[in-house]
Structure 1
Amino acid sequence: MELGIGMFGDLAFDQATGKYRDPGVKIREILEQVKFMDEVGIDVFAMGEHHRPDYAVSSPEIVLAAAASITKNIKLASGVTVLSSSEPVKVYEDFATLDLISDGRAEIYVGRGSFIESFPLYGYSLNDYEELFEEKLGLLLKINSEENITWSGRLRAPMKNQTVYPRAKNGGKLPIWRAVGGTPQSVQSAAELGLPLIVAIIGGMPVQFRDLIEFYKQEYKKAGHDVNEMQIAVHSHTFVSNDPEVIDGYFHNYKSQMDRIGSSRGWAPYTKMQYEGGRSKNGALFIGTAKEVADKIAYMKEIFGITRFIGHMDVGDPAHEIMMKSIELFGKEVKPVIEHL
């Protein structure tokens, strides 16, 4: 079972100045953190894509390429590539280039994303939300498996006898995961295509996703794919500290980001009761001591049979030194437990 860390590049908001903190500083901190992840044995790093003032990273590929030059073993993934508003040819080219830089460590998590800013930004209509994703996923998968492309769709210009370079290692094929938020249609599509599945579980109780993941397994087998190649991951908000004061203080970071997002979605202000409920054994927050976090990941392995867990670790932009300690504990105290499951 693999253990990974995901980030969005959250930027803290300074009430005194009325500004978010410097994104350049944040990105340089992320690179230092990824280098440290590699050193402590974390298996995967996933970098998200956003086009908002409260996140530092709109181009995961560039951050991952920078990370590739200072790491040796860690896999480097997008988390996620918002494929609906991306160009599949460019996505493949960028990640194939990353794959060559990193000597075969690049992966793509494709999804619709949880924000819509990229659609008007890149000139796409939200009326085509579903069809854009399905059409572009089909093209990306074709590019990933064939060097010479002939393809046609409704929303993108056709390709006729065109080649896409450079080609990734491993015969030109990149690992492409389907990232989902919990809709059965998305899960069924991933299973039928034989794509590895990564499920974002960031609220409620993880056990509520058991039927959905069982549905994926059934549909994967029904489609005739090799069950020995099946990969399932969970992606959840995570933070590790053996200091109760740090965990208690992290509530303020977490609340600030939840309230910022929630203000545009009609959510009620985030409460300490929600935080503690999420941290409980049956909750979806993997926030606590190394033992508490390891026990909850082991529980995910038990109920879902996951092959990978991604801890999303920078919600609310905690201080760099606290992030480094969380990464250290995740690698040195959580990972050894997971390796023996």
Structure 2
Amino acid sequence: MKANPHVLPKFDPSNGLEFGLYTLGEHVPDPHTGKQISAQERIKQMIEMAQLAEQAGMDIFQLGESHQEYFVSQAHLVILAAIAQATSTIKLGTSATIISTSDPVRVFEDAATIDLLSNGRMEIAAGRASRTGLYDLLGYNREDYEELFEEKFELLLKINETERVNWSGKFRPPLKDANILPRPHNDKKGLPIWRAVGNSAASAQKAGTLGVPIYQAHLGGAASVYQSRIRQFRQAATEAGFDAKAIPVTTGGFFYVRQNTLDAYREYYPHINEGMKRTNGYGFPKKAFAQGQDVRSIVNVGDPELVIEKLLQQHELFQHQRYVAQIDSGGVSMDNIKRTIDIIGNKILPKVKHYTRK
């Protein structure tokens, strides 16, 4: 079994499954009231979410980027720098950084700076974008979708693991003995870097072949579908000579909890449906969303007992190290975000941690 060359995130099994929040910075009206807060208020809301997550005992807060209408997360690393100053213990990360349309040198410089600001709390999840409008906006060809991602992800890993970088590729000028600074203040002078995976089994397999951890996002469907993808990832890692059990897995998706399951589904569906119509161009089928009430569904919406049962079943299926919840999708009000965080901290987190400790 060969040594893994990458900077892997560290987890303590005695603390149980890590639990955190992520947001994509959506900026849409609340479908129940029609009210839409300003972009400034929405950014401040995300900073407050991170503070509340830390106070509730959660492990990580993550922010993704998007460069289209109905989002305020275009400069997600800038917002994460503000969050680094507003918090003190919670881990921070991206969910995801679209490395395909970014310069890996600048991404590393910015993320390493946040790591220094936060005393070593920063991680990167690198993705390829499910919304491709940013390719035109930032001057890239959509036909290079796969090539751009693979080349830039490879360069990001090399920068992270090599202080003096020599590199050449197709999409940017070569680097010759480049000293890329600053460096994180740890023994490896690098950051944990995850490969963000959506519905692509091939991408999960490539992550395993490279020996990098995966960040598996999910919208809906049976948890067993994602179990199969995670198995493919671990099989590829084993075939490449790595210790697959030592490479972490994160999963994340929609999350909404209320005292009554039917109330949770009635309240949350307009947020998901209307939010997706605006940001993706299509809604979430109502029948498919209602199927989330089945304990075998990956959609973590319901009363606390149902959501706990789902999270524990998913942990049994995936044997993953971290779950991150998207609780603010589709214009959920700050009052309801606070209510969800309170239920997570008081009712869900203690039980999930208790039953997943090793």
TM-score (normalised: structure 2): 0.89
Contact 1:232 1:308 in 2 (8 A): yes
Q: Counterpart in 2 of 1:321?
A: 335
1 CA distance for matches of 2:338 and 2:260? 14
Q: Distance in 1 between matches of 2:51 and 2:337?
A: 13
The whole-number CA distance in structure 2 between the counterparts of 1:50 and 1:256 is: 18
Are positions 1:177 and 2:159 aligned together?
A: no
Give 2:271's match in structure 1, choosing from 253, 256, 259.
253
Q: Secondary structure of 2:86's match?
A: coil
What's the CA shift for 1:277? 1.1
C-alpha displacement of 1:205? 1.3
Q: Name the CA distance, whole Å, in 1 between partners of 2:196 and 2:82.
A: 24
C-alpha separation between the residues in 2 aligned to 1:253 and 1:14? 7
Return the offset for 1:248: 2.0
Instruction: Tell me what 1:307 maps to.
Output: 321
Distance 2:271 2:30 in 1: 12
User: What is the match of residue 149 of structure 1?
Assistant: 165
Q: Please, which moves more after superposition, 246-255 or 63-72?
A: 246-255
Among candidates 207, 213, 238, match of residue 196 of structure 1: 213
Q: 151-160 vs 180-189, which deviates more?
A: 180-189
Match of 2:94 in 1: 78
Q: Give the deviation of 1:20 after TM superposition.
A: 5.3
Moved over 3 A (4+): 18-21, 243-247, 269-272
Q: C-alpha displacement at 1:282, in angstroms?
A: 2.0
Matches within 5 A, 1:1-341: 1-13=17-29, 21-170=37-186, 171-243=188-260, 245=263, 247-262=265-280, 264=281, 267=282, 269-340=283-354, 341=356
- In structure 2, C-alpha distance between the alignment counterparts of 1:92 and 1:43, rounded to whole Å: 23
Q: C-alpha distance in 2, partners of 1:184/1:227?
A: 16
- CA drift of 1:4 comes to 1.2
CA distance, structure 2, for counterparts of residue 127 and residue 200 of structure 1: 23
TM-score under structure 1 normalisation? Answer: 0.93
Aligned length: 336
Asked whether the equivalents of residues 241 and 290 of structure 1 are also in contact (C-alpha less than 8 Å), the reply is: yes
**Using a 3 Å threshold, how does the CA distance of structure 1 residues 139 and 294 change in structure 2: closer, same or farther?**
same
Shift in Å, 1:209: 2.1
CA RMSD of aligned residues (A): 1.9
Q: Percent identity?
A: 33
Shift of 1:10: 1.7
Query: How far did residue 63 of structure 1 move?
Result: 1.2
